[in-house]
Amino acid sequence: MNKLLVSLGLAGIALMLCGCESMKQQTAITAPVAMKIPHAMTLHGVTRTDDYYWLRDDSHSDPQVLDYLQQENAYTAAKLQPFKPLQQQLFKELTARVAAEDSSVPYHWHKHWYYSRYQQGQEYPLLARSSALNGPEQLLLDTNQRAAGHEFYSLGGTSVSPDESLLAFAEDTLSRRIYTVYFKDLHSGQLLADKLTDVDGDVVWSNDGRYVFYIAKDPQTLLGDRVFRHKLGTPQSADVLVYHELDDAYYLDLGKTLDETRIVLTHESTTTSEVSWLDANAPLGEFLAVTPREEGVEYSVAKRGNELYILTNWQAQNFRLMQVNISKASHKANWQSVIPHSPDVLLEDFLLLDDFLVLQTREQGLSHIRIYPDADTTRGYELQFDDAAYVVGLDVNPSQHSRDLRVYYSSPSTPETIYDYQLDFPGRRTLLKQEKVLGGFDAANYRTERLRITARDGTPVPVTLVYRKDKFKRDGTNPLYVYGYGAYGIVIEPAFHDDIISLLDRGVVYAIAHVRGSEMLGRHWYQDGKMLHKQNSFNDFVDVTRGLLQEKYGAAGKVLAAGRSAGGLLMGEVVNQAPELYLAVAAHVPFVDIVTTMLDESIPLTTNEYDEWGNPNDKPYFDYMLSYSPYDNVRHQDYPNLLVTSGLYDSQVQYFEPAKWVAKLREYKTDDHLLLLHVDMSAGHGGKSGRYSSYEDTALEYAFFLGLLGYK
C-alpha cells in the first residue's frame, strides 16, 4: 500500500480519536483511494475487468486489505464527526426505550416453566426455569458470563434433554454462524467434557438422552451437509455419520415432531424440499424419507398418532393441506385434501394439536389464524385483529395436548403482544405480555396505513406506512423513509420496531415497500420477483417512491431509503436506476457483486442460491444478472449520499463486495455527496451482538440520515 494511503489512514484515525477539530478540518479530509489491479474474467464471450478484486482476503489477515478498511472507517468517522452529537443523542434515545429488566413469557415443557430474562445493564439474557409458574428460579445459563472477553457473542440453539437433566447450548464468538456446542449438567451446574465444534446452531436429543444429532458445516462453503450422531461421554471424533447431503443446493435442518416420537431431518432448496425422520426411541436406526424429493415440490409435515398432515405446494401454487395415514405417506396419490388450494390465499403454517387444527394464512398481504376443532374444516373460526396492517403468528406451543394457543401480535404502532387463546371458547383470550416501551411512548400518537401504489407495468404494490399524527401534514413536506427487501419469499412484516420512533417523532414518514420477491400477496408475488423477473423488485421500489411523493406522503429532496443483504442489492440497483429520487441511501451488508459471487462456488451459500437468482454459468442468466448487478453497472453519474456497512466476518455477504462497490463508486460518481463505508471489524452479517450495542448501528444510520436533513 503506498505511503499516501497510509498517511490518509493515520490522519483519519487521528480525526476519529480527537473531538477538537474544526468543521473545516473534518470536511477537508480526502477520501481513501483504493489502488487498481486489473483482474479480467471472461465468460460467454464477455470480459469483465474488476480493478478491486484484490480486496478479497478470505483469511481476513492481509495487512494491505485491513489497512484500507481501517482507512475507510477513519474517513467515515471523520466525515460524520459533525453528526456525532446527534448520533450520541439517538443512541441514548434508542436504549432508553428498552426496559432495563425484562423477561419472556414462560412456557411449560415436561415438568418446568422455561423463560429468559435480562437484568439491568446486561447485554445478554439469562436462561432460567422453575418447577412452578412464578416459583423459585433455577438459573440454567448466564450468557453474559459466557460472552465475557469476546467482542462478538451469539447464543445459538438451546436444547434440554428429555429428562431435563442436561442442557445443550451453541455459541458463535466470531460471527460466522459456525457454532460450538457445550453440554451442562443442570443438577451439578458443571460443564461436561463433551464439545462439538464447527456445527450449525441446533442439536436434537434421542428420547433416552444418551445421544444427540447435529449438523456439521463444511469449513469452506459453510454449508451444513452432514448429520452426525454423538454419544454423550465420547469424543467428537468417534461420532457416527448418519446422513450426507450430496446435493449442494440443499440446506439441512433438524427438529422433532410435537409428540416427540420422531427426529425430523428437513432437506430444503429454494424450490424443493424433503422430510426424513427417525424413531426418537431407536436412535441407532436410519433416517427414512416420508416421501422422496421431487423437483419443484415443497412439503412439511406434522404427526398426530398414526395421522400425518402435510402442507405442500404439490399441484398447488399457494400450498394446500393434506392428510394421510403414516403407512401410506410415501405415495402422494394417497394424500387426501383437508384445506384445498386457493389462488387468493397462501397457506403459511399450521399447528396440529390433539383436538384442534390451527392454520395460518396470508390474504391480501395480511396474516390470519383460523381454528378448526377436531380438524373439522366446516366449523372453524378466525381470530380477530383491528389494525390496518399487522403481523400475527404462532408463538411457543410445546405440547400437542394443549387446549390453549399462544400467538404473538404487533403492528407498526402496537408493541409486540403475546396472547393465550382458549380454543374451546372462540374469541376468549388472555393478555400475557406486551412489550414495554419506555420514554413516554403512547401508541395513540401514531397512525398506520396500508395502501397500494401502481407500478409501471400496472401491478398494484402494497405499502405499509406509519407516522406520528401531529407531525404529519400530507402536503408533501415531510421527510420520507422507504425500506425494502424483496427476495427469497421473505415478507418484511408490518411489525412494531421501537427504534423508528426516533424517526417518527421528528416528522419522518416510515414506509415499507412490499415489492415483488416476497410472498406478501402469495407465491406468485415471490415468483414474479426472482430469477428472470428480478427487475420487477427494483422497478416496484422506484415506482412506490414516486407514487408516495405524488400522494404527498413525502417531500422531493427529503427521501431516504434503506435495505440490508438482498435489500442491499435492491438499494444498489435503485441508486443506479433512479439516483435523483433519493437524498440518501443506506445499504447494509449489501449483495452487490452478484455475477462474480454466483460464479464462485467456494463462497459460502453460492450453490444454494441458484434457484433464487439463476446460475450465471448459463448464458441467459448471466446476461440477465449482468444487466442489473449493482457493481457491474456503476456509471458516471450523480449518486445520492450513501452509507454502506459491512462486517469483516460476514459469512453471507462477504465484506469485499461492499468494499469493492464503494471503491468503484468513488472512481465513477460525478457528485460531491457523502460516500461512506463502515466495516465492523469484529462482526458478521447481523452486526453487533448485545441488546444495547446493536443500537449503535441504528444510531449511526439515523444520524447519517437526520444530519443530512438538517436535524441537530
Residue listed under C-alpha cell 464503494: 662
Task: List Cβ neighbours of 164 (8 Å cut-off, separation of 6 or more).
Answer: 110, 111, 112, 186
β-strand partners of 356: 373
Q: CA-CA distance, 305 to 354, in Å (whole number)?
A: 9
Q: CA-CA distance, 388 to 88, in Å (whole number)?
A: 34
* Strand 381-382 relative to strand 366-373, pairing: antiparallel
Measured CA distances, 523 to 347, 361, 484, 519 (Å): 10, 12, 18, 5
CA 357 to chain centre: 28
- Catalytically active residues are 565, 650, 685
Q: CA-CA distance, 47 to 155, in Å (whole number)?
A: 44
How many residues make up the chain in this entry?
A: 712
Across 45-172, the runs of DSSP E, i.e. the strands, are 46-49, 102-103, 107-109, 112-118, 126-130, 138-142, 154-160, 166-172
Q: CA-CA distance, 693 to 698, in Å (whole number)?
A: 10
Q: Confirm if 48 and 34 have CB atoms less than 8 A apart.
A: no
CA nearest 515: which of 574, 559, 468, 467? 574
CA 534 to chain centre: 20
Q: CA-CA distance, 368 to 391, in Å (whole number)?
A: 9
3 state SS for 568-581:
HHHHHHHHHHCHHH
Q: Give 565's DSSP letter.
A: T
Q: CA-CA distance, 254 to 463, in Å (whole number)?
A: 36
Task: With residue 41 as reference, give the H or E element that holds it.
Answer: strand 40-43
Q: Give 500's DSSP letter.
A: G
Q: CA-CA distance, 229 to 279, in Å (whole number)?
A: 13
Q: Confirm if 628 and 535 have CB atoms less than 8 A apart.
A: yes
Across 469-532, the runs of DSSP E, i.e. the strands, are 480-483, 509-513
Q: In what order do the strands lie in the sheet with 191-205?
A: 154-160, 166-172, 179-185, 191-205, 211-217, 224-231, 240-244
